[in-house]
Amino acid sequence: MAKEKPDLVYGTLDMLILKALQHEPRHGLAIADRIQQISKDILHVEQGSLYPALYRLEAQGWITAAWGVSDNNRKARYYKLTSAGRKQLAAEQEHWSRITKGIDLVLAEG
Amino acid sequence: MAKEKPDLVYGTLDMLILKALQHEPRHGLAIADRIQQISKDILHVEQGSLYPALYRLEAQGWITAAWGVSDNNRKARYYKLTSAGRKQLAAEQEHWSRITKGIDLVLAEG
DNA sequence: CCTGCAAGCCTAGACAGTCTTGGTAAAGGA
DNA sequence: TCCTTTACCAAGACTGTCTAGGCTTGCAGG
């Protein structure tokens, strides 16, 4: 389980969270779990990164939060994508694909 | 020329610089210019990011520096990749492709 | 010759996002 | 009753980028 490098690319967490909420509302830890699972354990979201990100997104109006009860019968805060959040997600994906294209050009060495 | 988002992905600059030095030594501004050109103007490296990054890389032993004279007949500091730098570049590319694979998995939404 | 501009290097401080480390509360099983 | 797990939360350190400045020097224009 050696980890020499970060589990995340700085600046992508917001996008990943929005994406994880695309189909259905989830609570905090479930979002982190989902990102980890879908990425086949490549990505890992620390709680200390997760919650600040959620507040950020909520403050921007991209997600809304409501208390509910988790599958394990614990109280949990469920986050839901707003329509502004969907727009934001689209914009971030666009930006991501643009920048990675630039990086790949350099790495392919023209 | 609207720029709402960063010109760089946080944490990739070191890799890009190493890559730009892969074939031949270059001086600072030439490195930034090359990254910008090869990426077709998608990426842009600010000087305030560039020089700190160069010192970092030099301190790690991944590049070495020597004063020389540029094409424009100005004194300039030429940076050269060391063999440790080549290893580092390979490692960073490996890490980059791994993480982007993870992100792409999430974005493709499994 | 003098002036101005561009090339090239450099630094300090602000800032943003992540990570580390700590904590709380409550459900459920032993 | 106690322990573990789930779930949320906060403070501070840290790292890397950006903003905004500044310095020197070669060369072109007048």
pLDDT, one tens digit per residue, over A35-93 is 999 999 999 999 999 999 999 999 999 999 999 999 999 999 999 999 999 999 999 99
Q: What was the pLDDT predicted at B12?
A: 97
Is the Cβ pair A95, B9 closer than 8 Å?
no
Q: What was the pLDDT predicted at A105?
A: 97
Q: Which amino acid is at B91?
A: A
Q: Is the pLDDT of residue B3 over 60?
A: no
Q: Are B90 and B98 contacting, i.e. CB atoms less than 8 angstroms apart?
A: no
Kindly indicate the confidence band of residue B4, based on its pLDDT and cuts at 50, 70 and 90: low
Separation between Cα atoms, residue B2 and residue B5, nearest integer Å: 9
Q: What was the pLDDT predicted at B5?
A: 61
Is the Cβ pair A11, B10 closer than 8 Å?
yes
Residues of A in contact with B89 (CB under 8 A): none
Stretch B62-74: mean pLDDT, rounded?
96
Phi, psi values for residue B68, rounded to 5°: -150, -160
Q: Is the pLDDT of residue A1 over 60?
A: no
Give the nearest nucleotide to A75, CA to C1'. D7
Stretch B71-77: mean pLDDT, rounded?
95
Paired tokens of B16: 């890009």
Q: What was the pLDDT predicted at A21?
A: 97
Higher-confidence position of A2 and A6: A6
Stretch B3-24: mean pLDDT, rounded?
88
> Mind listing the domains of chain A with CATH numbers?
13-108 (1.10.10.10)
User: Which member of B8, B19, B98 has the closest CB to residue A107?
Assistant: B19
B102 touches chain A (CB under 8 A): yes
CA B73 → C1' D14, Å?
40
Is the Cβ pair B19, A109 closer than 8 Å?
yes
pTM, rounded to two decimals: 0.91
Q: Are A39 and B103 contacting, i.e. CB atoms less than 8 angstroms apart?
A: yes
The reply to whether A51 Cβ lies less than 7 angstroms from strand D is yes
Strand partners, B80: B64
Distance (Å) of CA A35 to CA A8, A85, B5: 11, 18, 24
Phi, psi values for residue A76, rounded to 5°: -150, 150
Distance (Å) of CA B48 to CA B29, B32, B51, B57, B94: 11, 11, 6, 15, 27
Is the Cβ pair B38, A105 closer than 8 Å?
yes
Q: Is the pLDDT of residue A5 over 70?
A: no
Tell me the per-residue pLDDT of B15-64, one tens digit each, with 9 for 90 and over: 999 999 999 999 999 999 999 999 999 999 999 999 999 999 999 999 99
In the block, tokens 């990011």 appear at B49
Q: What was the pLDDT predicted at B110?
A: 61
Paired tokens of B61: 């032993």
Residue A77 DSSP class: E
Kindly indicate the confidence band of residue B2, based on its pLDDT and cuts at 50, 70 and 90: very low
Q: Is the pLDDT of residue A32 over 60?
A: yes
Distance (Å) of CA B1 to CA A93, A98, B4, B5: 20, 15, 10, 12
CA B32 → C1' D12, Å?
34
